[in-house]
Structure 1
Amino acid sequence: MPKIHELADVKSSYIGDGTRVWQYSVILEGAKIGKDCNICAHTLVEGDVVIGDNVTLKSGVYLWDGTRVEDNVFIGPNATFTNDSMPRSKVYPEEFKSINLRFGASIGANATILPGVTIGRFAMVGAGAVVTKDVPDCAVVVGNPAKIIRYLKV
């Protein structure tokens, strides 16, 4: 059974066993969150978001429609995700671009991930990086725009 703080606003019925949702988190109807996740305080998960098992979502993270997060992903504090490459007030695209975080990926604090990007298996995005294109499996990227500095052995 999930543990949901009394000050969280959880509308989804798809929260896995052992998942903890902390205060001031908002999870919209339709969102799917796996088991044994940690959804920290001051987070938002929109309705068309899928989060796997054993995921950590640190404070200040907002996951917008179309985001897909596989198992064992770490998302650091205040990491920013986007789903509209040409945002305008009250003007919506026909379809939001998804962001995909593959198994075991880690996103550093304050990183920005642009629409349509896939972060590969076990890849690491450094704190403050701006990711404008796909990151291969096991790559470590830093900077603005993010560039590969090495590969991890997994």
Structure 2
Amino acid sequence: MTYYKHPSAIVDEGAQIGTDSRVWHFVHVCAQAVIGKGVSLGQNVFVGNKVTIGDYCKIQNNVSVYDNVHLEEGVFCGPSMVFTNVYNPRSLIERKDQYRNTLVKKGATLGANCTIICGVTIGEYAFIGAGAVVNKDVPAYALMVGVPAKQIGWMSEFGEQLALPVVGSGKAACEATGDSYVLEDGILRKI
């Protein structure tokens, strides 16, 4: 085994887990899950069958990554945040054929206790605030808060808020790294 697995964790036969990953207390990883290298699965995490988790993701305690959720490299899932996979679930009606794909792109942060409604795409390096409810696609680098989540700003790849308007255009630098960003036509990019 090229990863660490706590004795209380359950990793079903067939699950793929990358080198140097850590599977902590009371985690359950289903048989068809594909998990990259250097991933940390905190206490009480569940990973479904039709799930991919990219390299260097960090999934904090009490998060369930259900079928049809896909995380690219370097995604941070805060404690007790929630993914869904059926838009309108009912206990007495089987709806596995209605799972919607959710994609969280490289470097995004999903704050503690936020909820990601299935079928959305979270853009690269987006930052979802604690407790927010995301029910629509999120642009790259967007800072989202509230219920339902609304964009209130832009974030750098380092995780610092940039001095830019939500709409319009402009240039800004990350105070922590000095990296430059430009906003044009509602799209932020690093330059």
TM bin, normalised by shorter chain, reads over 0.9
* Counterpart check, 1:29 vs 2:31: yes
Corresponding residue number in structure 1 for 2:76 = 74
State the secondary structure of the residue aligned to 1:149.
Answer: strand
- Report the AA paired with residue 132 of structure 2: A
Corresponding residue number in structure 2 for 1:52 = 54
Find the aligned partners of 2:9 and 2:19 in 1 and give their Cα distance: 17
Corresponding residue number in structure 2 for 1:14 = 16
Find the aligned partners of 1:19 and 1:106 in 2 and give their Cα distance: 19
Give the structure-1-normalised TM-score. Answer: 0.97
Per the TM alignment, residue 115 of structure 1 is displaced from its structure 2 partner at its CA by: 1.0
- Indicate if the aligned counterparts of 2:15 and 2:29 stay in contact, CA closer than 8 A: no
Which residue, out of 88, 95, 100, partners 1:97? 100
Deviations, residues 107-133 of structure 1 (Å, cap 9, x unaligned): 000000101011100000000000010
Calculate percent identity across the aligned residue pairs: 39
- Report the AA paired with residue 69 of structure 1: L
Aligned length: 154
Give the structure-2-normalised TM-score. Answer: 0.79
* Counterpart check, 1:139 vs 2:142: yes
Moved more, 134-143 or 85-94: 85-94
Which runs of no fewer than 5 residues in structure 2 stay unpaired? 158-191
| Bigger Rg, which one | 2
Find the aligned partners of 2:98 and 2:6 in 1 and give their Cα distance: 33
Which residue, out of 33, 42, 45, partners 2:44? 42
Q: Which protein, 1 or 2, shows the higher relative CO under an 8 Å CA cutoff with sep ≥ 6?
A: 1
- Indicate if the aligned counterparts of 2:15 and 2:30 stay in contact, CA closer than 8 A: no
State the secondary structure of the residue aligned to 1:24.
Answer: coil
- Report the AA paired with residue 27 of structure 1: V
Find the aligned partners of 1:92 and 1:102 in 2 and give their Cα distance: 29
- Report the AA paired with residue 46 of structure 2: L
Per the TM alignment, residue 13 of structure 1 is displaced from its structure 2 partner at its CA by: 3.2
Which runs of no fewer than 5 residues in structure 1 stay unpaired? none
Moved more, 90-99 or 45-54: 90-99
CA RMSD of aligned residues (A): 0.9
Corresponding residue number in structure 2 for 1:84 = 86
- Report the AA paired with residue 5 of structure 1: H
Find the aligned partners of 1:64 and 1:127 in 2 and give their Cα distance: 20
Find the aligned partners of 1:108 and 1:133 in 2 and give their Cα distance: 16
